[in-house]
Amino acid sequence: MEMEKSEGHFLCLNAPAKVNLCLQVLAKRPDGYHELATWMQKLSLYDRIELTLSKTCGIRLQCSRDDLPADPSNLVWKAAAAFLSVSGHGSRYGVDIHLEKNIPMAAGLGGGSSDAGTVLKGLNLLFKNEFSGSVLLDMARRLGADVPFFATDYDAVWATGIGDKMVAIPSLVDHTFLLVNPGFSVSTRWVYEKFALTMQEKKSKLPGFRKSDIGILPLEKITNDLEKVTLFRYPELGEIKKKLRDAGAVAALMSGSGPTVFGIFPDGTTAYTTEDFQGLAQKLRREYGDEVFVVRAVAGA
């Protein structure tokens, strides 16, 4: 979360996208979620959220996209309702929310979860940090598996559980990420259901994430258990991965349940300038549509 403007009862916030640099699915839980082991990194692609406290009770949500519901089914609304309910302020205050969507939806980039986590943090700021981080995490946990990450100030984490047991790790600050979303959405539920047909309970064997050396996993070893499910249905994602590697990415991977694919370019490994990255992105836009982004890892959100 980055704060752009704060005036008393008003906040303007940036809600960042994320990628999963690693994602292992370990077991199905009785509550319907899955036990995960995942490395998550926030990126400089943001939705924009404006929060205004009001003496008129209730939640009023406006969205920049007509295909996004502005009602209690929206995760942003649910986050605001959860905060006001737990705090008890809902009987005295309401909140007006304006959501400007820039992160592609149903794309594996955590946009909806980021919006929800950012609303929780923003409302807590407006009420002068009423709740501790652990209480915010409890609220976030009930909203979805990725929401806890965005309810923290961590830029990058190694997470287990449903993504709610987190250890902060160094942000990849000296890296450029090229995100390619091919323009169609993928149902997270569908991907997990297909994966569940073949999965067996297992232990995480990802190297480099022992307690003593968290954060040093070589990028060449990043992996995503869900990738094989989504790529089987959408083989063009494999083509995108190859193009990113051919362009000089040290690694390319699908994020989350997809379909966004990202390439990682550490500073100093290529001779690319900012203009070169933008040129490469424009070339990919001609093939896959407008949702191709050149971003950096977030540092100090």
Structure tokens at 85: 């309910």
Nearest partner of 240 among 221, 259, 257, judged by Cα = 259
CA angle 268, 274, 276 (to 5 degrees): 90
- 209 vs 216: CA distance, rounded Å: 7
Is 18 a catalytic site residue? yes
C-alpha span between 207 and 205 (Å, rounded): 6
Q: 């933008």: which residue's tokens?
A: 278
Check if 155 is active-site: no
Distance CA 59, CA 53 (A): 10
CA distance 170 to 159: 13
H/E run at residue 87: helix 75-87
Give Cα 157 to chain centroid, integer Å. 12
The single residue of 146, 155, 164, 225 carrying the catalytic annotation is: 146
Residues 53/144/31/200 CA torsion (nearest 10 deg): -170
Pairwise CA distance, residues 241 & 27, whole Å? 27
**SS3 label, residue 272:** coil
**CB-CB contact of 100 with 136 (8 Å):** no
Do you find a cis peptide bond into 16, omega within 30 degrees of 0?
no
Say how far residue 218 (Cα) sits from the centre of its chain. 21
Q: Which residues are catalytic?
A: 18, 146
